[in-house]
Amino acid sequence: MKFLRRLLLTAVAVFILAYLLPGIFVSNFWTALLVAIVLGITRAVIQPILILLTLPITILTLGLFLLVINGGMVLIVDAVLDGFLVTNFGYALLFSLMLSILQSFLYSMFDAKKLKK
């Protein structure tokens, strides 16, 4: 149940950010849900491999290169899905950063332990 709630909250966050950022386009909420699913899969499968391969540059930049990797994950999702469009890498980077912030806000707001009180 927690996984499903987080998936829906991520889809809501994607939909909100597509409305706020002019360089991001999502055709409808179902596409936002697919973006959340595919982004979760790429972050679970591809991102650890990229982090391992780019470990020296990540250490050299004190972890800032992880932002570039996250932006690349958004561009991969853009290439896979038809109803999701990112105009350039800058918007992918900004989308990734804002998605992380919005996700942590939404997750903390809809935490199951807090809802029970």
The structural domain count of the chain equals 1
Mean pLDDT of 73-82: 95
What is the DSSP-derived secondary structure letter of residue 110?
T
What is the DSSP-derived secondary structure letter of residue 11?
H
User: Given this model, what pLDDT does residue 115 score?
Assistant: 59
Whole-prediction pTM value?
Answer: 0.89
In a domain, 24, yes or no: yes
In a domain, 64, yes or no: yes
In a domain, 20, yes or no: yes
Tokens of 49: 């491999």
In a domain, 116, yes or no: no
Mean pLDDT of 88-95: 96
In a domain, 7, yes or no: yes
Note down the domain range covering 97: 2-111
User: Given this model, what pLDDT does residue 35 score?
Assistant: 96
In a domain, 61, yes or no: yes
Q: What is the pLDDT of residues 27-68, one digit of tens each?
A: 999 999 999 999 999 999 999 999 999 999 999 999 999 999
Nearest alpha-carbon partner for 39 in 72, 87, 83, 64: 72
In a domain, 117, yes or no: no
In a domain, 37, yes or no: yes
User: Given this model, what pLDDT does residue 110 score?
Assistant: 84
